[in-house]
Structures are given as C-alpha cells and as structure tokens.
Amino acid sequence: MKVKMLVSACLLASAVTGPVLAQTTPATGAMAQATAPTLYKRLGGYDALAAVTDDFLQRLISEQQFARFFGGHSTDSLKKIRQLIVDQLCAATGGPCVYIGRDMKTTHAGLGITNGDWDVMVKHLNATFDKFNVPAKERDDVLTALGPIKKDIVDKP
C-alpha cells in the first residue's frame, strides 16, 4: 500500500482550486464576490476525475518500470488505491470529497522513486490528458501543481 500515493500524489499535486475573486462593481462601489469555477468543475466533476484516474492508474500499473511499486497488490488493494486517488484529486481541486490518506512525504518515503520515474509518470499523465482531451488551461494547472510536491515524492534524484 506504500505506492497508493504515487499516483494520487501526481494527481493531487495536479489539483488546483479556483480562486474566489473580490470585485468592486463600478455602479455601486460595493464589493461583490464572484467565484471562478473550481478546477474540479472545469475538469468535469467526480465522474470525469474517476475516469481520468482509472486510465492513469492503469497506465502506471502496466508500466514495467513501476512493477516494483505495484507488484503484489491484490485487486482489492488496487481498488483502495484508486479510491484514495479519486478522493484526493476531488478534494484538492475544490470538489466535495474528503481525503483521508497520508501525506505524500510519508507515503513515498523509502520507495526509491527517481527523477526518471517522475518523468515517466508525467508522460503517462499527459497521455491520459490527451485521451480525455483535457483543455490546455486545466492541463497547465495540473502540471504546474506537480512541481512543488515532487520534492516529497522523488527520493533519489
């Protein structure tokens, strides 16, 4: 179960919530709150996140380079990993879910994840984005968010 967060970290990191903007209305000078759509909504909500997670996770599980992370997991364990990823992504993108998993540093400690592993993960994430025609803005938001958590996931640069 140590790797359950490899995928979720990538997806979580990619999660960026939409900001709440304060605007002054010219006619009244009053402050009005306008809420930009969250990344959760921009990505299509829960079902879209679940479909992206399913595709992305299958790509990672099928990747020979990641066999050391996923080997030995039962079908039930993989389902739990999948649900934690969906919940983490949902919560991090401004959706209604609650993530109950561990932080990325704790989860990935000792796994020996390298920069090469990270790059392969990003390649698979981009392939998933391509498959689901994720728009450029949302893709950029997700990929930009990956940067800060890389230090918590990559163990061996």
Model pLDDT for residues 103-138, shown as the tens digit of each residue: 989 989 999 999 999 999 999 999 999 999 999 999
Altogether, the residues listed in the chain come to a count of: 157
Give the number of other CB atoms < 10 A from CB of residue 4.
23
Q: How many CB atoms lie within 10 A of CB 98?
A: 9
Whether pTM exceeds 0.85: no
CB–CB of 134/43 below 8 Å? yes
Give the domain 4-153 fold.
Answer: Globin-like (1.10.490)
How many CB atoms lie under 10 A from the CB of residue 43?
26
Task: Round to whole Å and give the CA distance between 149 and 16.
Answer: 13
Q: How confident is the model at residue 71, as a pLDDT?
A: 87
